[in-house]
Structure 1
Amino acid sequence: MFAGFNLQGLDDEFLSSYKGAGEAVYNQQKNKVRKELDRFALDDGSLDGSALQDDWFPTIEADIFLSHSHGDQKLTMAFAAMLKEEFGLTAFIDSCVWGYADDLLKKIDDVYCKNETGATYNYNQRNFSTSHVHMMLSSALTKMMDKAECLIFVNTPRSITTRDAVEAKTKSPWIYSEIATSLVLRKKKPDRHDSLIKHMKFEAAEKKQTLDVSYNVDLSHLTPLSMADLSLWHHQVGEIRGWNTHPLDRLYLITRVLDFKTYQR
């Protein structure tokens, strides 16, 4: 990953013409494969966790990883459609994998975690299965973050709460975990660049509503991305000063992640 952005101010009006296409983009990324658990059974009776993860949470080729709250899913879908239509950039929508985590967990729990009566689940076994599925999901999201060149966090009141001008908080353990992960992921310059350039990155996820726990979130390593920046990028679909640039390089130049004078043509 080369750069990460903290996008604030994204609204429905700016993306109104992309709403219909947004759902199509989302559906293209949804994994429609539904395999039964016995396909992943090993000789010793255990499940092949690696095969399960590859099947249920496959990685895709994407230029941008879009991190967002579940409450902003339609907004993010429209944003992904805009990125595809205007810049030819493929955006991965992180909520594409969330539903599958719950579906997989339900399949496992129904087979391995029910009490003898079959009416309820065993608490300890249920905790054990949840830890495995969440580990698979976390690993899959980390791989996608690492593969994508750019991350954009759709920062809204649904994902981040701010108590004051400095301290940002999230009630989602996944957003907390993913932003922390973005701090330590390896920094990789795009192959089209001839020199190493300073960059940043980021990630987040959706928040659960059943347990209300807050975490401090450090967003300082993410480059601010305003609606003015987004609008300027949107209008620079053509050339800059007479020479062609990759769409993401135009974004990096606008936000000063990339220095124009030192950029290698």
Structure 2
Amino acid sequence: MIEGEIVMFAGFNLITEETFDDFKENGYRLFNENKKKVEKEFEIFISNDGSVNGTSLQKHWFPQIKADIFISHSHKDEEKAISLAGWLNSTFGLNAFIDSCVWGFANNLLKSIDEKYCKNPNGVTYDYEKRNYSTSHVHTMLSTALTTMIDNTECVLFLNTPNSLCTSEVINQTHSPWIYLEIAMTQLIRKKEPNRPHEILIKHAFEASEKLIIKYDLNMDHLQNINENDLKSWRDIFIKNQQIKEEHPLDTLYEKYGFIKKMETLKG
């Protein structure tokens, strides 16, 4: 792929029942490669005075992985997201970042901190205030890492399934604070056309006696709706265009939906 500055440009709301099972093996291969990059031992970030170096911890535990596409999805759809990443890589050579790759390690990090710092004297239960403190720090690190990753990734795909949305007739909602964060960030962060030389550049918690349910309104008006037929059309157009000239696969997708025209309108 042609090198250049990577900044988010476009977002898509992918509504599909396709499972991409044929590409699951490749997806897990990519997932495990990224997994190796984020798995670290917590103890190495403890300073001599006993404090934890939060800056160093975030940098090494949640490193920015070079990717073309950020896949936002429900944790319950992790396998589908991994298989979709396999399809994107096999079809276009694109590298997709799967947010649960970070989410899982956030849980591991939080557990490591809580085991060392948040136990009550009995060594069995956890101190409520200490856990609030540790959770706020880890979730701040996670939020920062996810936002930075979205900003550094050219394209965002939201995997729209019943697991990710609790949609009413009036408005889209989600139970997931992380999906809420990610979709909100796609509205707020900078948008910049990809810098590629082309003839045309188209541009979880404690269990309680009652289950806590929180819903967030989700504004997805800025995301382009697509489905499995659009994915297949994207693939077919890309293959056809490659016979004429070399073209980045994401440019093919942007051209299909006229993103460069939208960007030029905003500039005007």
Could you state the TM-score of these two structures normalised by the residue count of structure 2?
Answer: 0.85
Q: Within the alignment, does 1:21 sit opposite 2:26 as a pair?
A: yes
Distance 1:147 1:7 in 2: 20
In terms of fraction of residues, the more helix-rich structure is: 2
Aligned to 1:232: 233
Aligned to 1:170: 174
Q: Within the alignment, does 1:91 sit opposite 2:66 as a pair?
A: no
Output aligned runs, 1:15-164, within 5 Å: 15-31=20-36, 33-37=39-43, 39-164=44-169
Aligned to 1:203: none
Following superposition, the deviation at residue 68 of structure 1 comes to 0.7
Amino acid at match of 2:168: R
Amino acid at match of 1:248: L
Amino acid at match of 2:10: A
Following superposition, the deviation at residue 72 of structure 1 comes to 1.1
Following superposition, the deviation at residue 43 of structure 1 comes to 4.3
Aligned to 1:202: none
Distance 1:16 1:77 in 2: 10
Q: Could you report, residue by residue, the CA deviation over 1:118-146 in whole angstroms, capped at 9, with x for unpaired residues? A: 12111001000000001111111111101
Q: Could you report, residue by residue, the CA deviation over 1:42-80 in whole angstroms, capped at 9, with x for unpaired residues? A: 344321001111221111100000111111111111110
Amino acid at match of 2:216: Y
Instruction: Look up the SS of the partner of 2:88 in the other structure.
Output: helix
Aligned residues: 250
Aligned-residue RMSD, C-alpha: 2.6
Uncovered stretches (5+) of structure 2, i.e. residues with no partner: 1-7
Distance 1:20 1:2 in 2: 29
Distance 1:208 1:106 in 2: 13
Uncovered stretches (5+) of structure 1, i.e. residues with no partner: 200-205
Following superposition, the deviation at residue 243 of structure 1 comes to 3.1
Amino acid at match of 1:237: F
Identity of aligned residues (%): 45
Aligned 8 A contact 2:74 2:164 in 1? yes
Q: Could you report, residue by residue, the CA deviation over 1:93-114 in whole angstroms, capped at 9, with x for unpaired residues? A: 1111111111111111111111
CA 1:194/1:84 → structure 2, altered by over 3 Å: closer, same or farther?
closer
Aligned to 1:3: 10
Distance 2:10 2:144 in 1: 20
Aligned to 2:220: 219
Moved more, 123-132 or 73-82: 73-82
Instruction: Look up the SS of the partner of 1:97 in the other structure.
Output: helix
Could you state the TM-score of these two structures normalised by the residue count of structure 1?
Answer: 0.86
Distance 1:36 1:137 in 2: 15
